[in-house]
Chains A and B, each alone.
Chain A
Amino acid sequence: MERLLLRAIAQACCNEMTNKKLGPLAITAIAVVFLAAIPLLFVIYNSLQLDASQWAGLWSKRLPELLWNTLALALLVAIGCFILGVSAAWWIARYEFPGREIAAWLMILPLTIPTYVFAHIYTSILEDDGWLGRFWHFIMGANTATPDIYNIGGATLVLSLAGFSYVFLMARSALSHSTRTLEEAARIQGANKLQVFFQINLPLLRPAIAAGLAVAVLHVLSDFGAVSMLQYQTFTLSIYLQMSGRFDYQGAAGLSMVLVLLSLTFLVTERFFRAQQRYYSARQARRHIPQKTSTTVTVLIWFWLGLITLFAFILPLAWMLHWSLDAWLQDAIDREFWTYTTNSITVAILAATAAVICAFPIAFYNARKRSMGSSLILQLSSVGFVLPGPVIALGIISFILAQLPVLYGGMTALILALVVRFLPLAVQSQDATLQQLTPSIEQAGRNLGAGPLENLWLVILPMIRSGMATAWVLVFIDALKELPATLILRPTGFDTLPVRIWIEASEEMLELAAPAALMLVVGTLPIIWVLMKNNQKT
């Protein structure tokens, strides 16, 4: 199976090379994809060592349950993110109500909280003496047990709260760019508001929602923190246990292989649906003007958005503040804490910058060529997102030790792994803006006498700057929160905030993790601000 895959890749690359002359752009794109595919090659290599009986063992013992668990969770989280993200985006994009700007902010802030912190906070506030636990007993009576979240329901809750912002971001941007023409035509034909929503808006929004859901679902497939804290067996958790509990790399690789195929199927399907859904609108079409709301509607909107914010941000933040204050009073925040903070920020900045630079040739090449080969390159660059962090880390270590041992020991391995992991985020957002870049603009630049590089610098880059900024911010946020690969690849003695959170949490001194978690939120705020500004401009 893997050989077929490899052959297909090789063939596509060859076609690409023989059809047209291979420009520097294509070479760079292929080089980046090779980099991104290192962990995949590691997985393929290791899973090839499994013989048929071992595969059969994996299949009969594990796979059916894991497949079911993982797919069910992905589906439920997709539904959760859809409900939260689309409802919030709709109201914020289409209605003018007091506090609209703040509301948009509040919907994005949950991105600053890592899933493992979410999971931890919810398990602790739902205990009998936790905030929600006590509230529960107050409402339901002392004898009713608090809801148990060590199951698919809990994992769905946590991952939906942590991921709906991606859907919100994409849906909102699509909604505020959409035009009124179609909707008005439908209304004139006698459709009511609901019919318009389901028959006009939703189909129009489909590409944006699909993109947002894809990001959210891919986060679910590769999530390690929340599922390990909630002990919900998905592929990623199982791969980790196979690797670290049994020191069985081949079994882990076999499971990873299945996960990769699963995710690629999902990605290709998503792309396929998106490719069929291209809508162009005339420049002159009238934009939407957000509708002013009555007091009742305002109250209703704020009730819903407030509810989302309460669970997705305010409660976790209050928990962090409470325990950070406690730590501060006990003098538990030492000088090293600031080192962890600067370490985290340094790593995230390097990773985001490197990822944006690496993503550009891939997205640009695809925007230019739109061929099978270019889109295959784009798909393959997504592979990092679907592999569990620990697998990526081991793949990178093995590669560096075998090929470039001089690099080992510094930060290169870590940055490389983070780039591989988050490259898809950067590629996706750059691809989105590059699609708006029509060939005529480039041709105009060339006609006016600009050379290829000058054209790139003066025409193309300024036009896609906002896409690049979004890409940078998305990678920065994820890199700042990244745990499993960082845990394995950081230079010796180099601790980041997530690493500290994890160490304190695994020693069951969870409250000590609060200042680090709070710092992650605070550190991300200015970056989110950039993202919001950027979104407003486009």
Chain B
Amino acid sequence: MNMRQFFAVTLSLIGSNLAHAADTLTVFSGRSDKFVKPVIEHFTQETGIQVQLHSGKSTGLLNKLRTEGKRTQADLFLSNDAGTLQKGSDLGLFAILPDSALEPIPSNYAAKDKTWVGLSARARVLVVNSKSKSAKAVQSVFDLAKPEFKNKLAITNSTNESYIAGATVYMLAAGKKRTQAWLEGMKSNVDGKVFDKHSKIVKAVASGKKSIGLVNHYYVYRHLAKHPKDPVSVLIPDQGKDGMGVAWNVAGIAISKHSKKKQLAQKLVEYLVSEQGQQQFAEENREYPTRKGVAASAEVPAAGSYKVADIPMYQLGTQRNATIDLLEAVGMP
């Protein structure tokens, strides 16, 4: 026995290789367990296929998938951010999905090369304090750069996934120059004080400490479910004939290129794009199902009742580094 074999044997005694049952799917999930488990349980009930969730942060899991290469145990990759999904496609980590998984979903919400499909959408909206007249008069996200919101504006720090995705949409819809001016205006308005959590933004706006904030829509409804009397409401920006529309971002799923259970994995994707699966996937977090004809939770404004920025979701990935460069060039906190 040479040295290397010896080490291999001893070390594998320390770490028991967890046996993986043939009919268990492993999902690298960048989405909260709380929102994934209910739909997974339904899937297992219907098909008898067990699903193991390996949760974490989307970007971290994608790094893991990339480094592991063909050794990966992941069969599927689930993320809350189209940008991260597209990054995975660009790195060549995903397999091509069957048409049965892609057909039900508008192509705007899927990868161009069919490697991932969007499952639920979140809208980048404004949360306003109902007592603030100036906040309620806002029409566009670009108004957040106005000096009247000095110290009254609440945004997250610039490493936030949703924030980067939103800024990417604005870059593509309104141009780099305008986005840069917007970031600079906001930078001076927040004066270095940004939030680490969206929920804290809603809270600060509800308490009147700030009058307006930029968040994903469900954070506002989550807050209102707990504190129905708080003076906060959702304002949908950039509407009207000349408005660019609201920035959307999708959560989606992909099949790992090195999965040995692609057939089973396809079944899960097919279930998630089915009407039933769509409802269950989006409901718990009050998101918009991407499949046409499946309604979102009754609390949120119906999809189609407002204008959405016309940007294919895969561009959130291809343009991601350009956005980060801009954020850094401006020096957003």
Q: Which A residues have a C-beta under 8 Å from some C-beta of B?
A: 61, 123, 127-129, 148, 150, 229-231, 241, 243-247, 350, 354, 390, 394, 397-398, 401, 403-416, 487-488, 491-495, 499, 503, 506-509
Contact = CB atoms under 8 A, between A and B. Distances in A.
B319 to A, nearest CB: 13
Interface in B190-207: 193-194, 196-200, 203, 207
Contacts of A416: 11
Contact of B63 (A244, A403, A508): A244
Contact of B12 (A128, A406, A491): A406
Interface SS of chain A: helix
A397 B67 contact: yes
7 contacts: A407-B11, A409-B18, A410-B16, A411-B14, A492-B20, A494-B18, A503-B55
A146 to B, nearest CB: 10
Nearest to B161: A245
B209 to A, nearest CB: 7
The 3 lowest CB-CB distance pairs between A and B, nearest first, are A412-B15, A410-B15, A411-B15
A41 B156 CA distance: 36
Nearest to B61: A488
Contacts, number: 119
A229 B159 CA distance: 12
How large, as a class, is the contact surface on chain B?
A: 35 or more
Contact of A406 (B8, B63, B321): B8
A270 B300 CA distance: 59
Nearest to A416: B11
Interface in B9-24: 11-12, 14-18, 20
Contacts of A394: 63, 67
B196 A229 contact: yes
B54 A493 contact: yes
A413 B15 contact: yes
Contacts of A492: 18, 20, 26, 52, 54, 73-74
B16 A398 contact: no
Contacts of A398: 67
B131 interface: no
B26 A487 contact: no
A250 to B, nearest CB: 14
Contact of B69 (A61, A123, A401, A488): A401
A495 B18 contact: no
Contacts of A506: 57
Nearest to A350: B14
Contacts of A231: 157, 159, 194, 196, 333
Contact of B159 (A230, A245, A401, A410): A245
Contacts of B159: 231, 241, 245
Given A123-B196, A247-B63, A401-B71, 18 more contacts: A129-B207, A231-B157, A354-B14, A390-B60, A407-B11, A407-B12, A409-B18, A410-B15, A487-B57, A487-B60, A488-B63, A491-B18, A493-B26, A493-B53, A495-B55, A499-B56, A507-B32, A508-B199
